[in-house]
A and B are shown apart, each in its own frame.
Chain A
């Protein structure tokens, strides 16, 4: 079964840039989506298809996928960006979705 890895936590000062990584074997051959989960709120996809940003998501969010690592970048971080971020792919060998373990982003 395909496995995705993420750092458990990332801390960033308000106004700075946060980078959340997602690792997997030959990850660039897969399509990565990034999901933001805040307590008490419905999840939201902030980046789809490696680097596309849904229209309602601020331009501060960007994504990139190359080699074995996909990266979610949040520029000019705000307090409202504090959440857990999960990467997601479709595993064609197992015919199921795989999620990373999640990275809690804390804004200092």
Chain B
């Protein structure tokens, strides 16, 4: 079935950057894509972007596309999300989720990571 395990919680100051990892196991990592989603109190779920674990193709949300970079490392089966120029609005629980390999929107998120809490505070 597969499992995604994310890195631990982070506390950052405004203006800083953060990198969150998401390690896949129990399935062929390069046969799927990974989407990143965040859940903020009072703001619900928000999609940040998608990456193909096969060839590194990406699609980003227009809202954060200037500040986010998604990458993967096939050798270790790990996906990464880097978010820059952090503000308090970025305080949220961040999830990676497995989905379609070819492009986002084809299939559903069938495996989720456990979530990584990011707190941005001065």
A residues with a Cβ closer than 8 A to B are 33, 35, 37, 42-45, 48-49, 54, 86, 88, 90, 92, 94-102
Contact = CB atoms under 8 A, between A and B. Distances in A.
Interface string B35-79: 101010000111100000000000101100000000000000000
A9 B108 CA distance: 24
> What secondary structure prevails in chain A residues at the interface with B?
strand
A102 B62 contact: no
B114 interface: yes
Given A37-B39, A42-B115, A99 B109 contact: no
A87 B108 CA distance: 11
Given A37-B39, A42-B114, A43-B95, A102 B44 contact: yes
B17 to A, nearest CB: 23
A98 B47 CA distance: 7
A97 B44 contact: no
Contact of A43 (B59, B107, B112): B112
Given A35-B45, A102-B44, A92 B105 contact: yes
Given A96-B62, A99-B47, A44 B108 contact: no
B33 to A, nearest CB: 12
Contacts of A37: 39, 45
Nearest to B105: A90
Nearest to B4: A42
Interface string B82-122: 00000000000001010000001101111011110000000
A56 B42 CA distance: 29
Nearest to B111: A42
Contacts of B44: 86, 99-102
Contacts of B97: 43
B35 to A, nearest CB: 7
A102 B42 CA distance: 10
A37 B44 CA distance: 10
B62 A45 contact: no
Nearest to B115: A42
Nearest to A56: B1
